[in-house]
Amino acid sequence: MTQFLKYVAGIQRRQMLYGTAATLAFLLVSRVVVARQKPVGKAAGGIAHEAGDKVDLVLDINGQERHLSLDGRTSLLDALRDHLDLTGSKKGCDHGQCGACTVHVDGRRVLSCLTLASMASGKKITTIEGLAGPDGGLHPMQAAFIEHDAFQCGYCTPGQIMSAVACVEEGHADDAAEIREYMSGNICRCAAYPNIVAAIEHAKVAMGRA
Ligand code: FES
Ligand code: FES
């Protein structure tokens, strides 16, 4: 009888240990799941923003000050397209792989899908809508793309043109091989590449960079 009681007590102890271990494992997994369901982004200055946190921004876009209150994790591309109706910059991949979203920030080409809007605050942003001069005439690169028929569906074209202007201004358009290399981040599914290269070679003359 005593041995039977010891046997029963042993089972109860094991069950309690198993129960405690299972409870701890459940709590641990729950915390991981909750943490994954609550993504955190980073704004300028490395300040972490949780979902729903708003930041007030003033963006200088195409020479105009635009005031916005956005979720701190909003990309520059989404700010342009969804909050400012500047839909010229295209969302191709949203992962930095196609170049369709290329804009200029302080004169340098950047992928707006990989740039937080808050990081562009205080900088000069130029989109395809602001590339033409104030008189509304076409930029030489835009004119060259039309003249050389450098697009088919046109989806990649705003990004191609913004990248092409920067490529010439960076001094990376000496010949066709260099243009192809420095434009390689801009994908054209219609494969209009020969015409795009021809347009850039033409435009660099008009831009005074030949
Ligand atoms: S949408 Fe930005 S690189 Fe494709
Ligand atoms: S013109 Fe169609 S993707 Fe380039």
pLDDT at 6 over 80: no
Taking the C-alpha atoms of residue 171 and residue 210, their distance in angstroms, rounded to an integer, is 9
Using CA atoms, how far residue 44 sits from 48, 79, 124, 153, 177, in Å, is 9, 15, 16, 36, 37
Cβ < 6 Å from ligand 1: which residues?
Answer: 91-94, 96-101, 111, 113
Taking the C-alpha atoms of residue 192 and residue 205, their distance in angstroms, rounded to an integer, is 21
Question: In this predicted model, what pLDDT tens digit does every residue of 121-144 receive, in sequence order?
Answer: 999 999 999 998 777 789 999 999
pTM listed for this prediction: 0.77
Name the domain boundary from 106, 130, 154.
130
200 and 183 Cβ atoms separated by less than 8 Å: yes
106 and 123 Cβ atoms separated by less than 8 Å: yes
CA of 154 to the centre of ligand 1 (A): 15
Structural domain harbouring 5: 1-37
* Mean confidence (pLDDT) of the chain: 84
Q: Which atom of ligand 2 is nearest to the CA of 152?
A: 1
Q: Same domain, yes or no, for 26 and 43? A: no
More confident residue, 11 or 89: 89
pLDDT at 8 over 70: no
Q: CATH number for the domain including 115?
A: 3.10.20.30
Radius of gyration, CA atoms only, the chain: 27
Q: Same domain, yes or no, for 183 and 151? A: yes
User: What is the pLDDT, as a whole number, of residue 27?
Assistant: 40
Q: Probe ligand 1: pick from 80, 87, 98, 183, max atoms within 8 Å of CB?
A: 98
Q: Same domain, yes or no, for 48 and 123? A: yes
Q: CATH number for the domain including 140?
A: 1.10.150.120
Question: In this predicted model, what pLDDT tens digit does every residue of 84-108 receive, in sequence order?
Answer: 999 999 999 999 999 999 999 999 9
47 and 41 Cβ atoms separated by less than 8 Å: no
Report the number of distinct structural domains present in the chain: 3
Q: Which residue has the tokens 């243009």?
A: 179
Q: Same domain, yes or no, for 136 and 126? A: no
Q: Same domain, yes or no, for 32 and 57? A: no
pLDDT at 31 over 70: no
